[in-house]
DNA sequence: TTTTGAGTTGTTCGA
DNA sequence: GTCGAACAACTCAAA
């Protein structure tokens, strides 16, 4: 019997996979395929993808054949496979980034009269077109979006993995995940990633269990990078190893009544994920251009040394450096610290937010075009729903407030390990004797601050006033 | 059409 | 040490 093709994209799971359910219902053997293309960018993401594909391949083998691997443009590759196998249909789950949508349109066009094409909306709680203001325009502010998106009620119940399907290679060569060269070789910088993460559906469910256990305390502890107060589900959600429906319902049902309020803050984050994708869908220039147009005139300094100091975690501000080093080592950074380091790059160093966004896309295992772009625009103050520009994070205060003992800093900036808590967020304030006693001389063993935050803040506010004046 | 209340995550200054 | 106001007015979204 001729097969149907299941084109896996950012939905690398078998449970609660609506597109897969539709393919199974076609009643034919399923040819599962992954096509690696130019959208598979970002070093840390590619590392994750390798293992997620491997896990999926193993899970599919239980049903017959594993995952066929190809690379190239899906709109070229898939029609060829349709011709070779006589497949009667192609199923896939839709994506909402501009390039991914263009890819879908090209595929639909290429397959137009050759076979059925079924794009299924599966990765968001609400489709971007289904949440609009009364005047028919897209929401720009989160809270009204969230209210409107929540109005229809709870997300759909997740569906279990279908048990009744058969996969086939349809006589094709399977291809090789290794040949995609997703893993780093020289040097192998992925040691910290391997220690931190378990990509794939099984790893995702383990992490989801952990997330359920912290959900009740989420509202209270989510801002503390020194604790394990966040879900760490972002990469699993990005690759679709979990659906937002599954996360929502598992957290909801695992949390006792007394903890529902704390968990609500976590569930709300799922709507932030929807909202970012929604913004990118309706404002496709989001990754590149400031949505508040006056920011195109902003006098960025764009200094290469500043950017490098930030990337390497050598700014002299411990909480910033801890975050950047956590990112480099593990492919992830605590959300509170992401805001601190982003504010520092954009407002203290006056480096364009796009440079920070590029770095994050390359180094985060959860790198997601929509979340990343929307969040950087938010921090930079140029998004539609942005923090006021004068809201400039003070890295010392933030450190004292959210890493009160300095444990987070000590973990990621070991030079400062022996410094007492009093100085850990501002080590330059320690007398030289105290520095020596802690085995760290500022300016030698750990950098002096690359900028003075007070001066940098004044300069940032001045620059902001300048573009306001220009546009007045 | 006009009005009105509200807007994820902050900091600093001066009383 | 604590508290409220200023930062700078703006835009959004619904009534």
pLDDT tens per residue across span A81-120? 999 999 999 999 999 999 999 999 999 999 998 999 999 9
The CATH fold of domain A293-471: DNA Cyclobutane Dipyrimidine Photolyase, subunit A; domain 3 (1.10.579)
Cα separation values, A469 from A20, A312, A462, Å = 54, 35, 11
Taking the C1' atom of every nucleotide in all shown strands and the CA of A141, the nearest one is: C12
Domain spans in chain A, listed from the N-terminal domain onward:
4-123, 124-159+200-282, 293-471
Taking alpha carbons only, the member of A373, A125, A338, A154 closest to residue A230 is A338
Q: What gap in Å lies between CA A201 and CA A194, rounded to an integer?
A: 16
Taking alpha carbons only, the member of A253, A234, A236 closest to residue A202 is A236
Mean pLDDT for A141-148 is 91
Query: Residue-wise over A121-147: b if at least 16 C-beta within 10 A, else e?
Result: ebbbbbebeebeeeeeebbbebeebbe
Rg (Cα) of chain A, in Å, rounded? 24
Taking the C1' atom of every nucleotide in all shown strands and the CA of A471, the nearest one is: C10
Does the C-beta of A253 come within 7 A of strand C?
no
Average pLDDT of chain A is: 94
Q: DSSP string covering A361-408, please? A: HHH-TT--HHHHHHHHHHHHT-STTPPPTT----HHHHHHHHSTT-HH
Both tokens assigned to A54: 């491997």
Instruction: Report residue A381's pLDDT band, with 50, 70 and 90 as the boundaries.
Output: confident
Mean pLDDT for A156-171 is 95
CB A31 within 8 A of CB A2: no
With a CB cutoff of 8 Å and minimum separation 6, the contacts of A321 are A313, A314, A315, A409, A412, A413
Q: What gap in Å lies between CA A251 and CA A209, rounded to an integer?
A: 8
pLDDT digits (tens, 9 = 90+) for A209-259: 999 999 999 999 999 999 999 999 999 999 999 999 999 999 999 999 999
Nucleotides of B under 7 A from a protein CB: 6-12
The reported pLDDT for the residue numbered A27 is 96
Q: Residue A292 CA to nucleotide C7 C1', Å?
A: 19
Mean pLDDT for A188-208 is 97
pLDDT digits (tens, 9 = 90+) for A329-379: 999 999 999 999 999 999 999 999 999 999 999 999 999 999 999 999 988
pLDDT digits (tens, 9 = 90+) for A418-465: 999 999 999 999 999 999 999 999 999 999 999 999 888 888 888 888
- How large a percentage of chain A has pLDDT more than 70? 99
The reported pLDDT for the residue numbered A471 is 66
The reported pLDDT for the residue numbered A263 is 95
The reported pLDDT for the residue numbered A277 is 96
Mean pLDDT for A162-175 is 94
Question: What is the Cβ-side half-sphere exposure of residue A5, based on CA atoms within 13 angstroms?
Answer: 32
Q: Nucleic chain B: which protein residues 396-455 of A have CB below 7 A from it?
A: 397-398, 401, 453-454
Taking alpha carbons only, the member of A153, A160, A226, A217 closest to residue A402 is A226
- How large a percentage of chain A has pLDDT more than 90? 87
**Could you give the 3-state DSSP secondary structure of residue A331?**
coil
CB A319 within 8 A of CB A409: yes
pLDDT digits (tens, 9 = 90+) for A290-330: 988 888 888 898 889 999 999 999 999 999 999 999 999 99
Does the C-beta of A275 come within 7 A of strand C?
no
The reported pLDDT for the residue numbered A386 is 66
Q: What is the CATH number of domain A4-123?
A: 3.40.50.620
Residue A304: CB atoms within 10 A of its CB come to 9
The reported pLDDT for the residue numbered A461 is 86
Q: What gap in Å lies between CA A95 and CA A277, rounded to an integer?
A: 9
Angle formed by the axes of helices A244-254 and A201-214, nearest 10°: 40
The CATH fold of domain A124-159+200-282: 1.25.40
H/E element, A342: helix A335-343
């Amino acid at each position: 019997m001729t097969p149907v093709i299941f084109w896996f994209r950012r939905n690398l799971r078998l449970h609660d996979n609506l597109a897969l359910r539709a393919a199974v219902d076609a009643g034919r053997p399923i040819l599962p395929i992954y096509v690696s293309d130019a959208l598979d960018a970002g070093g840390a993401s590619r590392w994750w993808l390798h293992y997620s594909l491997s896990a999926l391949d193993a899970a599919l083998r239980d049903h017959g054949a594993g995952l066929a691997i190809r690379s190239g443009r899906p709109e070229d590759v898939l029609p060829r496979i349709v011709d070779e196998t006589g497949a009667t249909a192609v199923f896939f789950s839709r994506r909402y980034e501009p390039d991914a949508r263009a890819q879908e349109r090209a595929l639909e066009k290429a397959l137009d009269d050759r076979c059925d094409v079924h794009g299924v909306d599966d990765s968001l709680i609400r489709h971007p077109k289904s949440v609009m203001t009364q005047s028919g325009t897209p929401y720009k502010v989160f809270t009204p979006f969230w209210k409107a998106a929540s109005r229809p009620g709870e997300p759909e119940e997740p569906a279990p993995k279908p048990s009744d399907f058969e996969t086939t290679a349809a006589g094709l060569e399977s291809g090789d995940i290794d040949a995609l060269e997703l893993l780093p070789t020289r040097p192998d910088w992925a040691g910290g990633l391997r220690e931190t993460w378990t990509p794939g559906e099984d790893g995702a469910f383990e992490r989801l269990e952990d997330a359920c256990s912290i959900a009740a305390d989420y509202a209270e502890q989510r801002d503390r990078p020194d604790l394990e107060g966040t879900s760490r589900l972002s990469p699993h959600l990005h690759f679709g190893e979990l659906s937002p429906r599954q996360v929502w319902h598992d957290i909801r049902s695992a949390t006792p009544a007394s903890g529902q309020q704390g968990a609500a803050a976590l569930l709300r984050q799922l709507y932030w994920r929807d909202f970012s994708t929604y913004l990118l869908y309706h404002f496709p220039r989001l990754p590149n251009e400031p949505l508040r147009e006056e920011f195109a005139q902003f006098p960025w300094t764009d200094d290469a040394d500043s950017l490098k100091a930030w990337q390497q975690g050598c700014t002299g501000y411990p909480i910033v450096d801890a975050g950047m080093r956590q990112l480099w080592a593990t492919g992830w950074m605590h959300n509170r610290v992401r805001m601190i380091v982003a504010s520092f790059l954009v407002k203290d160093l006056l480096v364009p937010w796009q440079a920070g966004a590029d770095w994050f896309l390359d180094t985060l295992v959860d790198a997601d075009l929509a979340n990343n772009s929307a969040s950087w625009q938010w921090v930079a103050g140029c998004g539609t729903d942005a923090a006021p520009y004068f809201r400039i994070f003070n890295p010392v205060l933030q450190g004292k407030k959210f890493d009160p003992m300095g444990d987070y800093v000590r973990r990621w900036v070991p030079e400062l390990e022996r410094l007492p808590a009093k100085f850990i967020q501002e080590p330059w304030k320690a007398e030289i004797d105290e520095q020596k006693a802690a085995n760290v001389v500022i300016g030698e063993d750990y950098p002096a601050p690359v900028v003075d935050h007070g001066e940098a803040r004044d300069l940032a506010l001045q620059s902001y006033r300048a573009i306001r004046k220009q546009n007045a």
